[in-house]
Amino acid sequence: MATMDVIERISDTVWELPVSYKEGMRVPARIYGTEKLIREMDEAVYDQITNVATLPGITKYALCMPDGHFGYGFPIGGVAAMDVNEGGVISPGGIGFDINCGMRLVTSNLTYGEVKPHIRELVDLLYRQVPAGVGSTGFLKMSKREFREVVEQGARWCVRNGYGWKEDLELTEESGCIEGADAAKISDKAVDRGFKQIGTLGSGNHYLEIQVAHRENIFDEELAEAFGISIPDQVVIMFHCGSRGFGHQVATDYLQIFLKVMDSKYGIKILDRELACAPFDSTEGRDYFAGMKCGINMSFANRQVILHRIREVFSKVFGRSAEDLGMHMVYDVAHNTAKLECHKVDGREKQLLVHRKGATRAFGPGMGGIPESYKTIGQPVIIGGSMETGSYLLVGTPGGAETFFSTAHGSGRTMSRTKARKTWRGEKLQREMEARGIYVRSTSWRGLAEEAGGAYKDIDEVIEASELAGISKRVVRFTPIGNVKG
DNA sequence: ATGTTC
């Protein structure tokens, strides 16, 4: 493979493609991963991440996390920080169509032994109460005008309306409401698609999972306890979803606008039209930033209402209140965003627009913007594996400075959905998983087959690469026992 | 990811 001949090994887990690799690169591209992950990575990822390295304002490196795979414009797993005072751009392809697709992790004080006899009942009821699948709608009835308030207020709106606890907000990135969301910057079409979608899971790789923290999978007892994982074989709930059709429409709207003005108005030439962008400091760029933040808030609200439903389901099945069941949030992380952050580059503080597309923010100890209770230990990082293997809770580290404090977000696909459909059958997979102790319900057999564990990279290898590279540190590995699949 | 090809 041609790229392997020119890629430079910086360390066991950091690999670099120099600016000489491709004409127009402003910075080198750095890919994180063990040698195995790097060798297995789709060649298209190298092409995409070096395209990203040509974008105006890109600072230090175009980065790809160990779970990187082919995506729209940017690879999924891509991180790019644009200097907004040096003509840096904002690009929807660097954020993803599913704006603020993310993960939420919730504890319980139940053990595996207590939950096991109820797992079918729990999953079946969750399947009913948290609608999944393409085009699904939620139980909340609101007007389009009210929905515009929701996308400006995020999870705060939910808690104020009885869908959650006050503490949930403190334990959500951006406290569940990113500042600067402006509903005047989103289209009626986006509102039409989104206003019935709060409290719904979606499809694809979105899921809601019941998991167990087995004693042997706790890597740091002190940190685990600080995050609320302290009972042997403790049961937790992890879920993954985003801004549904709403975020998709916001991204689509602005991609069209950017394609029109990018070259004609701003003279920006790009190698791939999927990298459509606009200067951050422009009318179009700022409008998208404010509209995209509505997508971020819609997603926080979505996960907040889903958490409310999960608490109701557990409460009904176990006949105790959610408070009594210890159903506290560990944290909520965003996977698909661009955020204005200050980072030190070559000894100087710079204001950067950090695009993270299929990458998790991983702030280290002492940094601003993380919950008070975690201030001295660092930000929790929630990484979902495939439904068959396992997931992780990690913590941000000082070494994250190398990646603008970003790390992996999941397993990362190795096989296309089409090929996965031909390799597995959903019905058979469900039976096999049940025999292995994972009860799964899905809205579609086809969708289930697409998400087979074998279609993904080895999550343990991805996590090991992230830890060896020093950009995050393992705390707990979780094993799935029940799953609602979108 | 997505009213899975406006």
- Kindly state the DSSP code that residue A441 receives in the 8-state scheme: E
Q: What is the model's pLDDT at position A2? A: 72
| Residue A359: alpha-carbon gap to chain centroid | 6
User: Which nucleotide in the DNA or RNA is closest to residue A444, CA to C1'?
Assistant: B4
Pairing, β A76-83 against β A58-69: antiparallel
Q: Which residues face A442 on adjacent strands?
A: A485
Active site residue A248: no
Q: What is the model's pLDDT at position A3? A: 83
- CATH of range A102-339+367-485; options 3.40.50.720, 2.60.40.1510, 3.40.50.10600, 3.90.1860.10: 3.90.1860.10
Give the residue nearest to nucleotide B1 (CA to C1'): A98
**What is the mean predicted confidence (pLDDT) over A444-470?**
96
Q: How far apart are CA A486 and CA A432, in angstroms?
A: 19
pLDDT tens across A194-215, in order?
999 999 999 999 999 999 999 9
Q: How far apart are CA A38 and CA A283, in angstroms?
A: 39
pLDDT-above-90 percentage for chain A = 98
Q: Which residues face A389 on adjacent strands?
A: none
Q: How far apart are CA A171 and CA A382, in angstroms?
A: 13
Q: Residues near chain B (nucleic strand), Cβ < 7 A?
A: A 72, 97-98, 101, 133-135, 189, 192-193, 197, 202-206, 241-242, 244-245, 248-249, 252, 444, 486
pLDDT band for position A252 (cuts 50, 70, 90): very high
Give the residue range(s) of CATH 3.90.1860.10 domains in chain A: 102-339+367-485
pTM value?
A: 0.98
State the sign of the Cα–Cα–Cα–Cα dihedral A168, A172, A176, A179: positive
Q: What is the model's pLDDT at position A33? A: 98
CA of A73 to C1' of B3 (A): 24
Measured CA to CA in angstroms, residue A337 lies from A46, A77, A100, A102 at distances of 22, 12, 6, 10
Q: Name the residue type at position A472.
A: S
Q: What is the model's pLDDT at position A1? A: 53
Q: Is there a contact between A32 and A42 (Cβ–Cβ < 8 Å)?
A: no
A76 three-class SS: strand
**For residue A382, pLDDT beyond 70:** yes
pLDDT tens across A410-433, in order?
998 999 999 999 999 999 999 999
Cβ atoms within 10 A of the Cβ of A446, count?
A: 15
Q: How far apart are CA A147 and CA A295, in angstroms?
A: 12
Residue at token pair 């920006």? A268
- Give Dmax (Cα) for chain A: 64
Report how many helices (DSSP H) and strands (DSSP E) chain A contains, helices first: 16, 19
State the sign of the Cα–Cα–Cα–Cα dihedral A98, A158, A169, A332: negative
Cβ atoms within 10 A of the Cβ of A96, count?
A: 30
Residue A17, token pair as written in the block? 């493609």
Which chain B positions come under 7 Å from a protein C-beta?
1-4, 6
CA of A35 to C1' of B4 (A): 34
**For residue A335, pLDDT beyond 80:** yes
